[in-house]
């Protein structure tokens, strides 16, 4: 699964804009790097517009379907992750699966091992020359209390061998040559629902500071000398 992650995205930087193929005329806005993003926080998502240009936008992490009409406080389902094997048929996600594909840029995500109250955090990243990697996501924009609210979820799949000891689920990680196929909604999208390649995965034990939601800073992803 993916219940906490970090992003180094700065949409206005040429390096980031070029990597993600953002529309240079209107790259979108994002306040900058975040090191400890939790569900219901705002996350950056990348969507393609009708002309095929990519734009970045902030979205609430936890998808609310566009048909939802009740107050947000009445939403009881946990929707920050969606199982890739089920999303196309689930009422909560199926409309977004058809019409709301997005990328969620990240530099890594966290998992925990150990007993309750004494859990060890691990940071999972990828070896890459790019500023990060992209997880597959879905977005929806319901109207809540008369105001449109952009929301999103991260798709998950069975973990690969590199991370299976940490958790049986993994975010879906799309390679750069798969982004376009995912965003444009190809019929074979299910074939794209895979974890990161095992030979590119990096796992580092990190500071227990990250266990507290609200703590921020690059020190959270620094290796703490732990190993699996």
DSSP at 218: G
- CA torsion 10-16-18-19 (nearest 10°) is -140
pLDDT at 131 > cutoff 90: no
Query: So what's the pLDDT on residue 11?
Result: 66
Residue 187: the pLDDT is 65
**How does strand 54-61 pair with strand 151-158?**
parallel
- Residues 51-67 have pLDDT tens digits of 777 888 899 999 999 99
Closest CA relative to residue 6, chosen from 100, 111, 84:
111
Across the range 168-194, mean pLDDT stands at 90
Does the pLDDT value for residue 27 go beyond 70? no
Parse the chain into domains and list their residue ranges.
Answer: 5-221
109-118, 134-143, 216-225: which has the highest mean pLDDT? 134-143
pLDDT score of 128: 85
pLDDT of residue 41: 95
Is the CB of residue 83 less than 8 Å from the CB of residue 136?
A: no
Q: State pLDDT tens for residues 75-107.
A: 888 999 999 999 999 999 999 999 999 999 999
Which CATH number applies to 5-221? 3.90.1680.10
- pTM for this entry: 0.93
């Amino acid at each position: 699964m993916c219940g906490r992650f970090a992003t180094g995205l700065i949409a206005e930087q040429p390096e980031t804009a070029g990597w993600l193929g953002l529309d240079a005329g209107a790259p979108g806005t994002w306040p900058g790097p975040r090191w400890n993003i939790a569900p219901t926080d705002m996350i950056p998502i990348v969507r393609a517009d009708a002309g095929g240009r990519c734009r970045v936008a902030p979205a609430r992490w936890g998808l609310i379907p566009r048909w939802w009409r009740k107050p947000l406080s009445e939403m009881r389902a946990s929707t920050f992750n969606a199982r890739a094997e089920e999303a196309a048929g689930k009422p909560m996600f199926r409309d977004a699966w058809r019409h709301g594909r997005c990328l969620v840029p990240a530099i890594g995500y966290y998992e925990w091992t150990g007993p309750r109250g004494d859990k060890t955090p691990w940071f999972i990243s990828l070896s890459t020359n790019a500023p990060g990697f992209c997880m597959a996501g879905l977005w929806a924009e319901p109207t809540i209390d008369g105001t449109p609210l952009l929301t999103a979820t991260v798709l998950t799949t069975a973990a690969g061998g590199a991370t299976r000891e940490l958790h049986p689920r993994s975010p879906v990680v799309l390679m750069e040559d798969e982004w376009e196929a995912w965003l444009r909604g190809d019929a074979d999208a299910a074939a794209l629902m895979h974890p990161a390649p095992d030979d590119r995965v990096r796992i580092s034990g990190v500071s227990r500071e990250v266990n507290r939601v609200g703590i921020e800073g690059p020190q959270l992803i620094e290796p703490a000398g732990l190993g699996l």
